[in-house]
Every structure is written in C-alpha cells, then in structure tokens.
Structure 1
Amino acid sequence: MFRMDVSGLIPKNMENRGLLILKDNLRFIEDILSHRRIPKEGLPEDKIRLLLKFFSLMDTDKDPKVIRIGEREGRCVSKIQEELVSGFCHGIGRSGNLIDPQPKAPGASAMYNLTNSMLTSFLRNLGLKVHGIGLPVATGLSLSLCLNAVRRMYNSNVVIYPYAAHKSPIKGVYLVGFRMRLVETKLYGDAVKVDVDDIEDAIVHEIDMGNNPCILSTLTFFPPRESDDIVEIGKICKEYNIPHIVNGAYALQNRYYIEKLRKAFKYRVDAVVSSSDKNLLTPIGGGIVYSKDKDFLREVSLSYPGRACATPIVNILISLLSLGMKRYLELMEEQRRCRDLLEELLNNLVEKTESKVLNINNPISLAVTVNSDPVEIAGKLYNLRVTGPRGVRSTDKFATCYLHKYPYDYIVINAAIGVRDKDIIAVVEKLEDVLLRR
C-alpha cells in the first residue's frame, strides 16, 4: 500500500525484522478488504480503530492541500465532534441515494459498502440467504423507508397491520402517508395473536375496494402478543401478489425467529427490518434491512432523503468486527440458556406467590401474573435499579395488544442477547422481594 523506508536508520537485520512484524500487524486490513466477510474471531479494539482511521483518512476533509469552498465541507468546531463520528465528517450517501458513493467521502463510502458486505455475510452465516444493508435510523424509520420502497415499486396505498401495540411501526406507517387497516387480535388461552384467515379477509376486502394493499407483520414482540405466522402470511402474499414487510426488531439473536424467517423467505417476504442495538449490541440509532431482492434494497436506499451521519453505520461495523461470528454464536447460546433459567426461576417463584407464568410462545421474554398493581411493581423494580421489566394492567388495551379486557395483570421480563446468568438470578430475587413484601 505504501513503502515505509527505514533503511539506514537501523541495522539491516533489524530493519527486515521490524518490517516483517509491521506487515503481519497490518495484514488484517488486507484480509478484511479482500474477503469482506465478518471475521470468525473478533478483532481487538486497536486494530478496529486503525481500520477506521485508514478509511477516514481517504475523505477529502483530511486532504492537507484541499481547498474547501462548499457549504458542506466536513468542518468541525471541536475535535470531539470528529471523534464522535470516527473521523467520517462527510457522512454517507448522496442526496439521491443512501448507498451511492459520495465524491467528498471515498473512505466513508468504502466503509459503508464494506459494512453492508459484512452484514450480508453475517446474515448468511445465520442461515438466511439474503442481502443486507445498514441504515442510519432505528426500527420505525427503517420500516418507513421500506414502505416507501413498496409504494415506489408496487404502487401500494394501504398497509394491512395485524395489530401489535408498538408506536414506532404505527408512526412509521403514517409518516409515509399510507392508510392503515388494523386486523384485530384474538385470545387463545393466555396468548394474544391474529388469525391468518382474518388477514386474508382484509386483503380480499382491500383488493375488492380497488386498493393495492401490503402487509406489515410482526415477528418479535412482548408477551402476551405472540408472533404473527409470517410463513402463512408469506404464502398468502405470494398467492395474491402483494408486498410483505416483516418487523423483526430483535429477530437475529434467536434460532426460533431465524427459522421462521428462513421458511417465510421461501414464499413472499420483500424485506425484514431488525434493530442494530437489539441484535448487534450497538448504541441506539441503526437499522438492519435484509431481503432476497437487491433491487428492493436499492429502492429502500433511494427513499432516504439526503446524506446521513456515518456513526450508526460505523457502530454496526465495529460490532461485527469486535464480536466475530464465533462470539456472536456464543452469545446466542448464552441468551437461550438465560431464557431457560428465567423460566425455571419464575416457575419456582409462582409457587410462593399464587400467580402463574403465562403460557406464551416466546424465546426471549416471559410474563408472570401479579395480584397487585403491575405498574407499581415495575416502578419498585426500577427504583431497585432493575431496568427492562414492563408492568401491564389487564385494562390497558394498548399494552396488551388486545382490544378487550385481558384476563390478567402481569409483569414482562426479558432474557435478551447480552444478558448474563447473574442478571436473571438478581431480577427474580428482587421481584420476589417486592411481591412477598406486599
């Protein structure tokens, strides 16, 4: 790449030895750029910083001879600002297309394309034969971009939404200007879910009305709402030739969800949206969109207005490089064990508290009924420095995702990727203290 001439500064034998060490220490950059896949083993932080520095030095604001006369030239008041974006002051994308190379940002453009290549290899290592791109926005706005792509490609004008009480996708639908048709949930034992026949009826009704519907289904959610049957929905969408977007916010951390996606992709799934922070342990602000159709991903990119901050994409790349595939698979296994431990401990707890663990099919979260105000209980847990549990009253139609009165008050506890055994043990102990103290 460049010749480091140290001849005459040290003896020849030491020069050869030093250059050999330097070459070996820099070989990881050559390996990453040639393979463009998530590494098997994670990289140390000093090497990741070096790679980011290598890319950022390619951008024009780092040119020591540049004459900057534009209105957008990567000027920063403080060095802290430059550090916060890892040196990529020009951001990513162009006004017309997020994934297009930016002339002022050769390094950021290369970094973004490398990230997308690594994301694709990561997804394929999980068993999903798809292409992936990182987006500089979180789940709700990522869904908006996907829905806008659906409008551009298929002239869709109404979203059929199997009801899930999550504000982000609902706002995402309205932001794009679609009309929403809700399909109500039903109660099956403890579980709240949407009947696939009702979804098909909604599709037929909208088509008969002269509309072009699309489906926004939900794969990952809190109990008692169970996953939509995305495989059967995919079959229906294929039969009626209508687009299907899946909200899989935290789908990549568990084999149960991945297997559902793998099967659904055999039928009709135009794209899935997952969160970078929920799956790849990044700060909040990044989305992952994946599809079998590269043209659809390009339409998603074309839907983004303007350039974007590079930081969410850098965070995705850092996670992929830091974890490596081996460590990620280990974290998935650890998540599964923690979920099993949580179920065991909650079953022990309900024997003491005259409550029950709700019978909900969910590989991440569990819900336990309570005999007093669940919101108050969740507040006490928060004051005990426990973050994450949700307290839901039976009358809260939004939170239960059920438009009638749900049979129970309950607390939801998660065992998501990154959680540890000691966290699970501690939260159940604190929940027991709160419940028995009453």
Structure 2
Amino acid sequence: MNSDNFNLSEKIVSPSYIRQGSQARRGHEQLIRQLLEQGKCPEEGWSESTVELFLNELAVMDSNNFLGNCGVGEREGRVASSLVARRHYRLIHGIGRSGDIAAIQPKAAGSSLLNKLTNSVVLDVLKLAGVRSVASCFVVPMATGMSLTLCFLTLRHRRPKARYIIWPRIDQKSCFKSMITAGFEPVVVENVLEGDELRTDLEAVERFIMLCYVCVDVGCLYAPFLILFVLGSCRLEELSSLCSKHDIPHIVNNAYGVQSSKCMHLIQQGARVGRIDAFVQSLDKNFMVPVGGAIIAGFDESFIQEISKMYPGRASASPSLDVLITLLTLGVSGYKKYLSERKEIYSFLAEQLKSLASAHGERLLHTPHNPISLAMSLDGLQANSDKAVTQLGSMLFTRQVSGARVIPLGKEQTVSGHTFRGFMSHSDSYPCPYLNAASAVGITREDVTVCIKRLDKCLKTLKKEGGTAKNSSPVSSSNQEVVINQNNLLINSLIK
C-alpha cells in the first residue's frame, strides 16, 4: 500500500480509519528504513508482523515472484510444493552467483539485499559481543567444520607449498577432518594439565613451528578455541603473538564463543597483540537457529572476501534468513538478555553440580578458564565397574537428558588415520573419568534442575547395582585366597 492506494481507500472506508491504518503501517516502514540506513541490529526487537512484512517486500523483488515473469532457463526459482515456498518466504533463488557467494543476483534483488543486510547485522552483533575491531564477516551455509575447511583452502592458495597445520589438540572429529579435507597434515600438539584443566602447551607449539620450518612451510596455526569439557580456553593471546612473530596465518575455531564475553574479549585481545586471520562461529550454537550455518569473520576485509570467493557456486539462503529473522525479532536488548541469563545459569549449574558431586563422593572439577562448560569427576563410579561410566551416559540419554557427556578413561578413536588415546578427554592420560554439562545460550533454570534430579537418580541406581553385584559375588576375595591356597596344597601333595 503506497500513498496513492491509501488515498483511494479513503473513498471506500472512513478517511479517519484509513489514516489511522496508514500511520500504523508507517511505523513498520520506519523500522525497515532504519535497518536499510544503518545496517545494524535494532535495539528493540521487531514484531513478527513487521518481520513478515519486510520479508514479503523482499520476496516480490525476486524474478520468480514477478507477476508477468516468463522463465525459460534451467534455474528460475521454480518450487513444486507451496509448503516449501512458504517455508522460505518465496525467497527461492538463494544467495550469490556462480563463483562468488557474495555476488549480487540480477534475477534476485530481494535475496541479494537479504544477504547483504544479514552480513551487516551479524557484523554489528559480533562487535557488540566484544570483538569491536572486526572488519568483515559473512554467513556461509555450512556448519563450522566445512566453514573451517573453506578457510584452509583459501590459505592453501595463498601458501601453495604449505603442508602442515599446527593444531593444539581438541577431541572433536569435525575439527580434525576440516584440516584433512583441505589437504593439510595436522601436527597435533598435546595439551598440558594444570590442576584439573588442560591448557595449550606454548613451548611445544613454538617447537613444532621451528621444526616444520626446517622441513616445509607451515600452512597456519589452527587454534581450537572451543569451550568443551575440561579444556580451558586456549592461550589465544600468546598463540596470536607467536603467529605474528613467525608470520604464520592464524585461524580460530570460535564455534561456541559468541555467547561468551570472555571468549570474544580474548579474540579481540589476540588480534590487538598479535595475529588472527579469521575466526569461525556456529550459527545454531550462538543464535539458536537450525543447524547448517556459520559466520566467518576477520580483521582484514580483503582476506574475508577472498574466503567468500573460494566458495564454489551459489548457496542456500536459509541460514542467512534464519539468523536475520532471529536477530530482528530479538533485537540487541533481547539477545543481550539471553547472554546475561546464560551467565547467571552457569553459576547456578556450577552450584548444583558441586552439591550433587559432593553428595556422591565426587567433586566439581576446577576449570576457571572455561566460561561455558563444567565437569564433575566419576572416580567412585569407575571404582564400582569399568562399564558403569559409559552406562551412565546411556541412562541419561534414555531419560531424556541430552547434551550431558560422559568421558571414560582410556578410550581410543581413529580419525582419518590418526589414533587418539583418551579420546574425548583431549589428553592421552587425563587422570579421571568425568561428566560434562554446559551452560549454553538458551538454557533455563528448569533444564538444570531437571538434569540434576535425573542425574542423581541415575548415580544412585548405578551405585546400588554395583553394591548388589559385589554382595552377590559367590566367593569373597578373602575366601578366594583360602580356596586358592587349599588347591595349591592339594596339587603339591599329588605331585609328591
């Protein structure tokens, strides 16, 4: 409805009513205008009606929605199911063009505008979250692992003789496979144990840097800045300084980090004191959207553009659409509220997990450099039975406790030809089995309360079963010794 249509409407319905409706529409349009002018996340979230009005306006700018369009090409935005069309708000053309994911599509002005605005809004949020000097970013329709591979492939073109990536160990398959897929050989640097916490071994990293320089060029240093289990945040500032000192590209896996002000501050500091070429974060983990997207960001706009041009062909607009809808709906204040609640619940989770651990003769592991995940030991459970620890994980899952991970001792796992000992503990020889839980964005106090209650019941059941198994043993250990001694005497007498 433009002004001419509103004027015509006054001939049909009372002008005062039409003017009131026109003013209401201008309120929606004013919000859209501010977004187009500033390219920033709105301070207050939009209503769903404003978001849908905006998306419908974008959709009618794409050729597949032109009233008189006649498409005779092989890709004309045709969709057989109206349900699928509505799911995507009829934004069917995706983003980018063949050879450049950031390019404008002549046939899809609306989708192209969506792509540009999403990248701009996400960049604003990254700055608000703590990385104030970030220069550029783009949303890529791939999860974190493949997004990292895209970064590594870009570096391979820059450094064609490079063979190795130096990688402080973290036991996540996608992290490791992202390097293999890009054609590099990972140089795995074991972490060092400091109390309960695993930290980056800086001396070993620099030793490997010098060793690889003797043999062949280093592709990059890949800092797995994932906040998982007993792994504290890697020494990012020191690693950044090493990369600057030795002129080595530095890629940071910040998969979970946007939700943590501490993680974002460390990235900002790392870029200030040293070198960070790109950092990658997951959309679903940080913005509560469906799996399938990531943000690649950095401090050199030309390098980020180089990565985006490495993406072969067009791409799905779904991740961009999902995160834009989410951020427009939440606004800055809504997203900050989620981040604040996550911090509060982290303290609540720590308190509850510590109390439960104490009640079962266990302890909350001390991991001060991990602002998202917590862990409690399972030494007592391990003493009862070797299988009890893994059984706990199964029991929790069948009781609808998702996300809690149980880490047994001594597990081996081969990933792309490399065998990790103590897999999932990020160490060859972590001293105890443990259970991990995370206070991630979107978690509620009720989630924590229900989890602790069910975990308590599972631990009691396993201890009861372990005690019963011991008590029902037909021969005690002392009796076994008597029987063995008697049998030895009998055998000796027969020999004589």
Judge same fold: TM > 0.5, yes or no. yes
Q: Is the 8 A contact 2:257 2:264 kept in 1?
A: yes
User: Is residue 83 of structure 1 aligned with residue 108 of structure 2?
Assistant: no
Instruction: Provide the C-alpha distance between the structure 2 equivalents of 1:97 and 1:206, rounded to a whole number of angstroms.
Output: 34
Instruction: Check the 8 A contact 1:84/1:311 in 2, yes or no.
Output: no
1:136 aligned partner: 141
Offset of residue 368 of structure 1:
0.7
> Within the alignment, does 1:32 sit opposite 2:35 as a pair?
yes
Match of 2:110 among 72, 95, 107: 107
| CA deviation map 1:237-292 (0-9, x unaligned) | 01111100000111011111111111011120001100001101111111011111
Which position in structure 2 is the counterpart of 1:410? 434
Q: Which amino acid aligns with 2:427?
A: Y
1:192 deviates by 2.3
Aligned counterparts of 2:281 and 2:100: Cα–Cα separation in 1: 21
Match of 1:347 in 2: 354
State the shift of 1:7 in Å.
4.3
Superposition RMSD in Å: 1.5
* Structure 1 unaligned residues grouped into runs of 5+: none
Paired residues of 2:227 and 2:257 also in contact (CA < 8 A): no
Matched, 1:182 2:182: no
Cα separation, 2, equivalents of 1:79 and 1:175: 37
Name the CA distance, whole Å, in 1 between partners of 2:150 and 2:105: 20
Cα-to-partner distance string for 1:320-351 (whole Å, 9 max, x where unaligned): 11111111111111111111111111221122
Give the secondary structure class of the aligned counterpart of 2:55. helix
Shift of 1:366: 0.7
With normalisation by structure 2, the TM-score equals 0.85
For 1:47, the equivalent position in structure 2 comes to 50
Q: Is 1:322–2:329 an aligned residue pair?
A: yes
C-alpha deviation, 1:11, in angstroms: 4.0
**1:222 is matched with which residue?**
228
User: What is the correspondence of 1:339-418 to structure 2 with a 5 Å cutoff?
Assistant: 339-361=346-368, 362-370=370-378, 371-372=380-381, 373-396=388-411, 397-403=422-428, 405-418=429-442
Which of residues 149, 153, 162 in structure 2 aligns to 1:148?
153
Asked if the contact 2:156–2:219 (Cα under 8 Å) also holds between the matched residues in 1, the reply is no
Q: 1:172 maps to which residue?
A: 178
Contact 2:396 2:455 in 1 (8 A): yes
Distance (Å, rounded) in 1 between the aligned partners of 2:366 and 2:45: 38
Counterpart residue number, 2:338: 331
1:431 and 2:455 equivalent?
yes
Q: Are 2:274 and 1:249 aligned?
A: no
User: C-alpha deviations, 1:4-44, integer Å up to 9, x for none?
Assistant: 24242234444433322322233222121112100111112
Moved more, 11-20 or 29-38: 11-20
Q: 2: distance between equivalents of 1:288 and 1:191?
A: 28
C-alpha separation in 1, matches of 2:17 and 2:219: 70
Tell me the distance in 2 between the aligned counterparts of 1:109 and 1:88: 10
- Structure 2: which amino acid aligns with 1:307? R
* Alignment check: 8 A CA contact 1:157 1:179 kept: yes
For 2:311 and 2:255, the matched residues in 1 are separated by 20
Cα distance in 1 for partners of 2:87, 2:25 equals 28
Supply the AA of the counterpart residue of 1:82.
A
- CA apart distance, 1:365: 0.9
Q: 1:352 to 1:11 in 2, by over 3 A?
A: closer
1:72 to 69, 72, 75: 75
Q: Which of 82, 98, 101 in structure 2 is aligned with 1:98?
A: 101
When residues 20 and 55 of structure 1 are mapped into structure 2, their CA distance, relative to the original with a 3 A threshold, is same
**1:228-239 equivalence runs, <5 A:** 228-239=234-245
Give per-residue Cα distances to partners, 1:96-124, cap 9 Å, x unaligned.
Answer: 11011112211111100000110111111
Distance 2:14 2:442 in 1: 50
Structure 2 residue runs of 5 or longer lacking an equivalent are 382-387, 412-421, 464-496
Deviates more, 1:272-281 or 1:182-191: 182-191
Partner residue in 2 for 1:200? 206
| Correspondence for 2:290 among 283, 295, 299 | 283
Which AA in structure 2 matches 1:381? L
For 1:99 and 1:70, the matched residues in 2 are separated by 22
Give the AA of the match of 2:432: Y
Secondary structure, counterpart of 2:9 in structure 1: coil
Name the residue aligned to 1:119: 122
User: Normalization by structure 1: what TM-score?
Assistant: 0.96
Report the Cα distance in structure 1 between the residues aligned to 2:193 and 2:26, rounded to whole angstroms: 63
- Following superposition, the deviation at residue 2 of structure 1 comes to 3.9
The aligned residue for residue 384 of structure 2 is: none
* Partner Cα separation in structure 1 for residue 299 and residue 32 of structure 2: 29
Deviation at 1:187, TM superposition (A): 2.4
* Secondary structure in structure 1 of the residue aligned to 2:424: helix
Q: Residues of 2 paired with 1:145 and 1:270: CA distance?
A: 13
* Residue pair 1:97, 1:304 contacting (<8 A) in 2 also: yes
Q: Determine helix, strand or coil for the equivalent of 2:111.
A: helix
**3-state SS of the aligned residue for 2:423?**
helix
What does residue 385 of structure 2 align with? none
Render the CA deviation track for 1:147-172: whole Å, top value 9, x for unaligned: 12222334443211111111112111
Distance in 2 between residues matched to 1:398 and 1:299, nearest whole Å? 35
Distance change in 2, residues 1:389/1:13 (3 Å): closer
| Number of equivalenced pairs | 437
Question: Quick one: structure 1 residues 356 and 14, their matched pair in 2 at CA, closer, same or farther if it must change by over 3 Å?
Answer: closer
Check whether the contact 1:223–1:412 (CA below 8 A) recurs between aligned residues. yes
Q: How far apart, in 2, do the equivalents of 1:277 and 1:12 lie?
A: 47
